[in-house]
Amino acid sequence: MFEPNSRYYNLKTSTFTTRDGEQVSFVRRQFLPRGEDLPLLTEVIVSEGDRLDNLTARTLGDPEAFWRVADANNAMNPDDLTDLPGQTLKVPIPTV
């Protein structure tokens, strides 16, 4: 259902049957990890003009892994992470 680098890849799915008999598959609820609990790979300092996808491409080798950095920094809005140059961001070790 999802690509291997997706945060939803390993989540369990369920099926809901509508009143007219149509079956709809969905991903079960996920609780995000606390950033403090994620093993740290490195920390990076945000530079002027940095984008999260570029940062994760450099550090994790995958521009679509931005959600890992968002989780490690307890960010609800990933775009906020690169708003302040000089800010230090945690980059977690990628886990399955």
| Domain annotation covers residue 60 | yes
Query: 34-90, pLDDT tens digit by residue?
Result: 999 999 999 999 999 999 999 999 999 999 999 999 999 999 899 899 999 999 999
CATH number at residue 42: 3.10.350.10
Closest-CA residue to 62 (of 1, 4, 9): 4
H or E element: which one contains 72? helix 66-72
Lookup: tokens for 82:
């690169």
| Domain annotation covers residue 2 | no
Range of the domain at 59: 33-92
| Domain annotation covers residue 51 | yes
| Domain annotation covers residue 25 | no
Q: From residue 28, how far is each of 19, 32, 62 by CA, in Å?
A: 20, 13, 25
Q: Which residue has the tokens 């009143």?
A: 19
Give residue 85's identity as a one-letter amino acid code: P
| Domain annotation covers residue 88 | yes
Q: Assign 3-class secondary structure to 4-69.
A: CCCCCCCCCEEEEECCCCCEEEEECCCCCCCHHHCCEEEEEECCCCCCHHHHHHHHHCCHHHHHHH
The answer, as to whether pTM is greater than 0.85, is: no
| Domain annotation covers residue 20 | no
| Domain annotation covers residue 37 | yes
How many domains, the chain?
1
| Domain annotation covers residue 8 | no
